[in-house]
Amino acid sequence: MTFARKLLFDHTKPVVCHCVSRCVRRLFLTQDEKWRRGLMDRMRVLTMHVAIDVLEAAVLGNHLHVVAATHPDLAALWDGREVARRYRSLCPDHAWRIRRKIAIDLPAQPEEIEKAVADPLLIAKWREELSSLSFFHKLLKQKIARAINLAADATGHCWEGRFKSIVALDDDAVIAHMVYVALNPVRASIADALDEYEFATVAERVEDLKRRIANGEFAGEAAAARERLRDAQLLPAMPCHPGPAVSAMPVLPGGVENPWLNGRIPPVIEGSSLAAFLHDIDAEGREPAFGKSGCIPESTPRVLAQLDAELAVFAVEQTAASPLMRAARSITAKLDRAMSRARNGAWGNFSGSARSLAEHARATGRKFAVGIFGDAEDDSGRRVKAAAANRDGQAAATAQTPRLLAT
């Protein structure tokens, strides 16, 4: 049984979701390189206008993974003109532009903006959509679907049903989903290294780190170099753009320090390390995963191989000492199993610790929440653990059959 997305989480608050879209009948409709590049480029365009960060993404021949973080709090800071400009840049008024003989691909026009600002209800609707995962996926996939059909002289659906969304309820789950998506090309046996598959954002992360190493950013005195490596935080692969007005606010309403001040990009998780993240993905990818055919060969150079020996050892130690990375590994392993076994994605709509699932169930008034969590061990791999939380918030680890876990 599926649920309306509005019942899974509060759309007025920030949320992180792992979204999975598959081509109809799992056909390889996006196998052509131009369609995969088109989806990646489209994501970059969208994040310039919407209040959504793409934390990690991978486009394969017949499906698409996106770990996205919504920022309705950011959209709430935009005035009417900013909302209208962003929305009309993505969705121009076609009828008006045709009458005025204005090209569809031009930015939002002043008359379009003024007309929209005069309708407060319309602005409120657009503001909500600019931080909506459903709206984001509509604009992401609709254009490519039309192009695929046009190229094949065909009609009909390109994507099967709506996209699957798994809500990451805590930091461990966010990292676990990012690791899963980053390793997707490797697990599918279409890449032997993290930077080998260009249609996954992890390749850009690795290339960027290599450039920084080559430019000498982590060279010099050992203690200072270690500090610079530690300070290289894990940022969204495609961060959203807050706009000049929000970037200039030292403090947000409510007295909160502005995370976007002066063009700053907030990290995925405060204090998260880019080096630890990439090292952990690389190490995880060298181990076989349940139901997956591919892994990184031992002959492939390590991601941090270009760092000097002392810094490389330091990065490994940081990863081993990180409770965030340790906890994420358990969820990643269960996610591998669940995504391999379930036809439409992982069992359940949530991931995180048992406590996180319990708190979410209590907050939403549900009797229980079903999902993947890393607090307990699997029992032989034929079952997946679920967190059942009552309204008192008491969480218990229970083993259920996959049939009973589907929500």
Confidence bin at 290 (pLDDT 50/70/90): confident
Distance between CA atoms of 255 and 236, rounded to whole angstroms? Answer: 25
Angle at CA of residue 85, ends 82 and 87, nearest 5°: 105
Distance between CA atoms of 209 and 307, rounded to whole angstroms? Answer: 10
- Calculate helix-pair angle for 323-341, 171-182, nearest 10 degrees: 60
Distance between CA atoms of 203 and 253, rounded to whole angstroms? Answer: 37
Confidence bin at 2 (pLDDT 50/70/90): low
Joined together, the tokens standing for residue 105 give 């691909």
The backbone torsions φ and ψ at residue 9, rounded to the nearest 5 degrees and listed phi first, read -155, 165
Give the pLDDT score at 98.
Answer: 93
Q: What is the pTM of this model?
A: 0.89
**Residue 357: pLDDT over 90:** no
Convert 12-51 to b/e letters by CB count within 10 Å (16 or more is b): eebbbbbbbbbbeeeeebbeeeebbebbbebbeebbebbb
- According to DSSP, residue 261 is labeled G
Convert 395-406 to b/e letters by CB count within 10 Å (16 or more is b): beebeeebeebb
Distance between CA atoms of 320 and 107, rounded to whole angstroms? Answer: 48
**Residue 149: pLDDT over 90:** yes
Alpha helices in 16-119 (DSSP H): 33-47, 72-75, 80-90, 94-100, 110-117
**Residue 16: pLDDT over 80:** yes
β-strand 350-351 against 164-168: which pairing, if any? parallel
Mean pLDDT calculated for residue range 169-194: 93
Give the pLDDT score at 320.
Answer: 67
Q: Are the CB atoms for 168 and 181 separated by under 8 Å? A: no
The backbone torsions φ and ψ at residue 311, rounded to the nearest 5 degrees and listed phi first, read -65, -40
Tell me the per-residue pLDDT of 19-64, one tens digit each, with 9 for 90 and over: 999 999 989 999 999 999 999 999 999 999 999 999 999 999 999 9
